[in-house]
Amino acid sequence: MTLISLVVTLVVVGVILWLVNNYIPMDGNIKKILNVVVVLVVVLWVLTAFGLLSPIAGIRIR
- Look at residue 19 and tell me if it is in a domain: no
- Look at residue 7 and tell me if it is in a domain: no
pLDDT single digits (tens) 3-52:
899 999 999 999 999 999 999 999 999 999 999 999 999 998 888 888 88
Number of domains in the chain: 1
- Look at residue 16 and tell me if it is in a domain: no
- Look at residue 35 and tell me if it is in a domain: yes
Q: What is the pLDDT of residue 54?
A: 76
- Look at residue 61 and tell me if it is in a domain: no
Residue 60 predicted with pLDDT over 80: no
- Look at residue 20 and tell me if it is in a domain: no
Buried b (16+ CB within 10 A) or exposed e, 20-59: eeeeeeeeeeeeeeeeeeeeeeeeebeeeeeeeeeeeeee
- Look at residue 6 and tell me if it is in a domain: no
Please give the residue range of the domain that contains residue 36.
26-54
- Look at residue 46 and tell me if it is in a domain: yes
